[in-house]
Amino acid sequence: MTDGIRLSEFRLDDGTRDLLGKEIAERVAATELDSDADEAILATIGAHALGNLLPGQVLHELEIFSVAGAHALILGNLPRQDFPDTPVHGYGDETGLAVINALHFGLLQLLGATPFAVSYENDGRLIRNVVPNPAASGITSSWGADSEFFWHSDQPHLPFGEPGTDPRLYVPHYLSFYAVRNDERVPTELTAVDGVAEALDEHTRTLLQRPEFAVGVPASNDMDGSVRELAPARLLETAPDGRLRARYDRGTTRGVTEEGATALAAFSESLTGAGSRELVLNAGDFMIFDNTRVLHRRKAFSPLPDAGARWLRRIYAS
């Protein structure tokens, strides 16, 4: 089975990277800029520099990404800075990461995406440090390492939103990442929802589009009594643009009817053999993918010692 992933991939030359890093570093040096309190300022600084220095083809691909049908986009060899040790316990000093935060928020602005934080995850902060947190040992979480994080979409227990609505109430449309370090060479694997669906028989596909399922809160979420199980729910839906979208987490999804349970088992079994695209992000790489049209996973791995352990920076956007 092929992965079905449509990927747009670009890499900056070293000269453009260095000019971009210099311009952003100069612009953020005058004040301390926090990723939550000063997100709009960081985005403006980043988008201005990126708009001036990125090649025209890259700018065009960023502009059309949301409508062109690609599942994911990677822009490699972005500026880096002097980084502290990996914050394996979850949080660190955001003001010291202003250069890469301006890059990340600026790219989202050029993509036409709105970054957002949610109260029920990551302590309500915009940027999540995807790190091997010892407190998450044995948990299927972006803070985990020793357990496989099987195919899933993020926050599948929420309804799908549409343009012009408050994104915090709905499934995040996009997941975006900046890689600080990944010396373990751990891949993020993607598989396209439509490709998985095409491998199923028509009857199973029909059942998956019926409201015969319940989807619970992921284990990585903070305790929040306002976040509930979504039921009855459809696992597969056709979006207003005609594309197939999905919600799924093996650990929190169940069928509420006998037919639904059978269809869910077939879907989960199909995923065990699904074709996937293994994307290893190197330091300075940016990636964004469509969380409604792509399922992703991360296999278990052995992290390096804390100071140099894998560290990605994730932002939800819609």
Q: Which residue range is the domain that position 306 belongs to?
A: 7-193+273-317
Convert the pLDDT of each residue in 260-283 to its tens digit: 999 999 999 999 988 899 999 999
**How crowded is residue 184: how many other Cβ atoms within 10 Å of its Cβ?**
16
256 in a domain, yes or no?
Answer: no
What type of residue is 97? L
Q: Which residues make Cβ contacts (< 8 Å) with residue 46, sequence separation at least 6?
A: 24, 101, 102, 103, 104, 105, 106, 107, 109
Convert the pLDDT of each residue in 13-45 to its tens digit: 999 999 999 999 999 999 999 999 999 999 999
State yes or no: 104 annotated in a binding site: no
What does pLDDT average to over the chain? 94
Peptide bond into 55 cis (omega under 30): no
Q: What is the phi/psi pair of residue 17, to 5°?
A: -55, -45
* pLDDT band at 145; cut points 50, 70, 90: confident
308 in a domain, yes or no?
Answer: yes
* pLDDT band at 218; cut points 50, 70, 90: confident
How much is the pTM?
A: 0.96
**CATH assignment at residue 102:** 3.60.130.10
181 in a domain, yes or no?
Answer: yes
Please say if the pLDDT value at position 223 is more than 70. no
User: What's the pLDDT score for residue 222?
Assistant: 66
Q: How far is CA 115 from the centre of its chain?
A: 11
Rounded CA gap, 92 and 32, in Å? 15
Residue with tokens 């969380």: 291
Structural domain tally of the chain? 1
123 in a domain, yes or no?
Answer: yes
144 in a domain, yes or no?
Answer: yes
263 in a domain, yes or no?
Answer: no
Q: What is the phi/psi pair of residue 189, to 5°?
A: -100, 135
User: What's the pLDDT score for residue 1?
Assistant: 57
253 in a domain, yes or no?
Answer: no
Residue closest to 212 by CA, chosen among 240, 195, 237, 194: 237
Q: Which range (50-54, 71-75, 160-164) has the least confidence?
A: 160-164
* pLDDT band at 143; cut points 50, 70, 90: confident
Convert the pLDDT of each residue in 39-48 to its tens digit: 999 999 999 9
Q: Which residues make Cβ contacts (< 8 Å) with residue 23, sequence separation at least 6?
A: 49, 52, 53
Rounded CA gap, 159 and 177, in Å? 23
Which region holds residue 142: left if phi is over 0, alpha if psi is between -120 and 50, else beta? alpha
223 in a domain, yes or no?
Answer: no
Convert the pLDDT of each residue in 282-303 to its tens digit: 999 999 999 999 999 999 899 9
Which of the two residues, 133 and 7, has the higher pLDDT score? 7
**Cβ(265)–Cβ(233) below 8 Å:** no
